[in-house]
Amino acid sequence: MTFPSIALELPPWISDVCEPGSRYPSIEDRIDLVFNLARNNFERETGGPFGAAVFDRDGRLLAPGVNLVVPTNIAAAHAEIMAIGIAGRVVGSFDLGPTELVASTDPCAMCLGAVPWSGVQRLVCGAHTEDAAAIGFEEGDRMIDWVQRLERRGVEVIRGVKRDEGAALLSDYARSGGVIYNGRAAG
């Protein structure tokens, strides 16, 4: 008997929403893209209500990501991890250097750990952790001062960009009957 391998692929509809190298000039444009990714992900029933993307310093899209935990049964298949992994493939390095990670919601404990390891230099977030918790997601234990810790490591953090829209997206997911999954509870 051999162990199965894993392969993570973005859903085919991604090319309907964005294309590599497209420029998103403002932070608001970039957060709109990740909200659009998150909404499409749950409305098309390909995953949870989270989207992320990595951009170069000129606002060009290097890699999108969506949450694929439930359809793949891979707990690490979060939107930020997907975007960071694909961006590494695009740039040919695990060190993403002067790039920006934009996430529809504050990163969970796992994704937060990936931020400094990836080398991104700016993290932009929409909805807050409390917004995800309000619909039942448990985002893991993080240091209370996680923003300051990232900033000490050279990662600029901008939170709450269009927060109300991000929180509404999460609420829409819950109202649609989407699976609220955690380490010990699914459904």
Instruction: Give the active site residues.
Output: 80
The secondary structure of residue 144, as a DSSP letter, is: T
Asked whether 107 and 141 are in contact (CB, 8 A), the reply is: no
Query: Which of 122, 123, 125, 120 lies closest to 159 in space, CA to CA?
Result: 125
Q: How far apart are CA 107 and CA 129, in angstroms?
A: 8
Q: How far apart are CA 118 and CA 93, in angstroms?
A: 9
Q: Return the HEC string of 54-75.
A: EECCCCEEEEEEECCHHHHCCC
Query: Which of 35, 28, 33, 32 lies closest to 62 in space, CA to CA?
Result: 33
